[in-house]
Amino acid sequence: TVEKEEAGGGISGEEIRLWGLEAQKPLRASRVLPVGMKGLGAEIAKNLILAGVKGLPMLDHEQVSPEDPGFLIRTGSVGGNRAEASLEQAQNLNPMVDVKVDTEDIEKKPESFFTHFDAVCLTCCSRDVIVKVDQICHKNSIKFFTGDVFGYHGYTFANLGEHEFVEEKTKVAKVIKLDSSETTMIKKKVVFCPVKEVLEVDWSSGKAKATLKRTTSGHFLLQVLLKFRTEKGRDPSSDTHGEDSELLLQIRNDVLDSLGIRPDLLPEDFVRYCFSEMAPVCAVVGGILAQEIVKWDPPHNNFFFDGMKGNGIVECLGPK
């Protein structure tokens, strides 16, 4: 068929129909590093493998626990490495993608390790690791993405550095015509800021204060949950619900106070909805994040999903 001839036999017809042949060529040459193979990480890996990237070394040094929702993990793998337990199912999704496993802790990886990839996507990482890897990627012009799911809530962040993209706009006709659907392509450039700058926005400044009411509370919820992860070395657990709920409320007060924001911006009932990884939320957030990695074209840097409301909000957050 024409599809097979043009693709050189290395791209499936489904991939061409989904992305188009021209889009598939750079995708097939891309190497993406997904970190963390729990529920969200498994969704991201699945979507990237099905999309047809060149190589995907799944990195995770943690062991499989009975609570892990990762659907790629084979049965009977509790106690084994999460990435190794996910390899067989992941490779079966698309034999044409070079799927490998890396069981080393990402904190031990040198800067040179990341330069082998076109894009890096972190899940289940501490705030310090997210900031560090983002700085490495920013310095080396590597596309950086991160995301997490906490109960009914999820987020994604993108740092594409200095990024050029094309936007389609309707032409403004000098003479009124019956058909006003003619469009033109406009080239644009966006400079993304590092995640550290997003997390350290001074909300007491005039300009930031003016946009505070329009900023989703999901951004501040993320700050609280990342601090919890740093302090406890884990995410909120249903096994210690009472203790974790109290700590989350205390962290909320501390975080929002340090940012110069009233605590009631994040109502106390948030603690009811941020425990464990909800599989449907992982599917939504994993689909959004993998889509952004594949097209490398978001004109924004943050996405926050609220599973209770069933909607997501796009935000452009940073020092400016």
Residue type, 28: R
Q: Convert the pLDDT of each residue in 29-45 to its tens digit.
A: 789 999 999 999 999 99
**Which residue ranges form the domains of the chain, and what is each CATH number?**
13-161+278-315 (3.40.50.720), 195-272 (no CATH)
Q: What does the buried/exposed string (b/e) look like for 20-45 if buried means 16 or more CB atoms within 10 Å of the residue's CB?
A: eeeebeebbebebbbbbbbbbbbbbb
Given the structure tokens 């505070």, which residue do they identify? 212
Q: Convert the pLDDT of each residue in 44-98 to its tens digit.
A: 999 999 988 999 999 999 999 888 866 899 888 999 999 999 999 999 999 999 9
Task: State residue 98's pLDDT score.
Answer: 93
pLDDT by residue for the chain (320 residues), tens only, comes to 333 333 444 555 555 445 454 555 566 778 999 999 999 999 999 999 998 899 999 999 999 988 886 689 988 899 999 999 999 999 999 999 999 999 999 999 999 999 999 999 999 999 999 999 999 999 999 999 999 999 999 999 999 987 776 777 777 655 555 555 677 877 877 788 899 999 988 887 777 777 888 889 999 999 999 999 999 999 999 899 999 999 999 999 999 998 888 888 899 999 999 998 999 999 999 999 999 998 766 567 899 999 999 999 998 888 76
For 307, other C-beta atoms within 10 Å of its C-beta total: 18
- The H helix count followed by the E strand count for the chain is 12, 10
For 113, other C-beta atoms within 10 Å of its C-beta total: 16
Task: State residue 275's pLDDT score.
Answer: 93
